[in-house]
Chain A
């Protein structure tokens, strides 16, 4: 998870950074389940891994794709 977060800060292509942050969210949802919290795991998987990534991708399409 920490490797995914560090690589989200290194990538120059913004699409790759967004997918790395989606991976961070997904692993956090698995950790929530291991800490015996099923409600929070479901909320993080549905909201953090699906809706946030979709909103980011739509916003990147309307602006630039590569960081300068």
Chain B
């Protein structure tokens, strides 16, 4: 009974949406704001990756909101799972030698790869969120491979808080020094295609990379705790 009603409802809604979507042509240029960002993006921000300059420079306040949402979710996971009673500790069998050595060998390589991605965020595709996710998956590898090792919780919380603070402080300094709005790009723009260019964009992306990586590693640590 429930299935039939929901299928009929979905068919009606699908018909309505199909009548609206037909009028959207696929592959035709639609807006003018994108063309403005592509034309003026290089000289106004100094970054060659246009998506990065839109995320950090032109719409930087939305990125601050998203970092806040991720922070609230990490706090929520810690708060909800904090009061579960622990059963008696099961005996964890030690992992085999090949697995243990392999995971310990791969861990710094993956960290370097993630750091490369978020440092070169304004030159190549990539950026803070992708690099942070790769760093978090390096920590996931140690949870799966070398069982019984945990990351220290106080150090990850310290990294996360300091990175968030760096982001807000850079924005406030921009407000105080030159411009009339938050997150003003006040450092010199530099030469195109070089690493030290595009003002405050590398600094913000490094802070976001550390923050996202340590946050998701903290979430996985809370969920794995043997209860």
Q: How far is the CA of A38 from the CA of B51 in the complex (A)?
A: 10
Please encode chain B, from 197 to 227, with 1 for each CB lying within 8 Å of some chain A CB and 0 for all others.
0000000000000000000100110011001
> Are A47 and B125 neighbours in the complex by a CB distance under 8 Å?
no
Q: How far is the CA of A54 from the CA of B117 in the complex (A)?
A: 22
> Are B223 and A39 neighbours in the complex by a CB distance under 8 Å?
no
Contact of A58 among B49, B136, B220 (CB under 8 A): B220
Contact of B137 among A39, A51, A58 (CB under 8 A): A51
- Chain A residues near B136: list those with CB within 8 A: 51
> Are B130 and A39 neighbours in the complex by a CB distance under 8 Å?
yes
Contact of B127 among A39, A47, A58, A59 (CB under 8 A): A39
Please encode chain B, from 107 to 148, with 1 for each CB lying within 8 Å of some chain A CB and 0 for all others.
000000000010000000111011001101100100000000
- Chain A residues near B140: list those with CB within 8 A: 50-51, 54
> Are A50 and B220 neighbours in the complex by a CB distance under 8 Å?
no
Number of interface residues of A (CB under 8 A): 13
Residues of B in contact with A, size category: 20 to 34
> Are A54 and B220 neighbours in the complex by a CB distance under 8 Å?
yes
> Are B224 and A51 neighbours in the complex by a CB distance under 8 Å?
no
* A35 CB to nearest B CB, Å: 10
Please encode chain B, from 46 to 74, with 1 for each CB lying within 8 Å of some chain A CB and 0 for all others.
00010110000000000000000000000
**Beta-carbon nearest neighbor of A43 in chain B:** B130
Interface check A31, CB cutoff 8 A: no
> Are A46 and B220 neighbours in the complex by a CB distance under 8 Å?
no
- Chain A residues near B52: list those with CB within 8 A: 39
Please encode chain A, from 19 to 42, with 1 for each CB lying within 8 Å of some chain B CB and 0 for all others.
000000000000000000011001
Whether A39 touches B133, Cβ cut-off 8 Å, given contacts A51-B140, A54-B140, is: no
Q: Sample 17 A-B pairs with CB under 8 A, ordered by A number.
A: A39-B51, A42-B130, A43-B129, A46-B133, A46-B134, A47-B129, A47-B133, A50-B137, A51-B133, A54-B137, A54-B140, A55-B220, A55-B223, A58-B223, A58-B224, A59-B223, A62-B223
User: Could you list 12 further interchain pairs (A-B, Cβ under 8 angstroms) beyond the known A51-B136, A58-B223?
Assistant: A39-B49, A42-B125, A46-B130, A46-B133, A46-B134, A50-B133, A50-B137, A51-B137, A51-B140, A54-B220, A58-B220, A62-B227
Which 10 pairs across A and B sit closest by C-beta, in order of nearness?
A: A38-B125, A46-B133, A42-B130, A47-B133, A58-B223, A39-B125, A39-B51, A43-B130, A50-B137, A54-B140
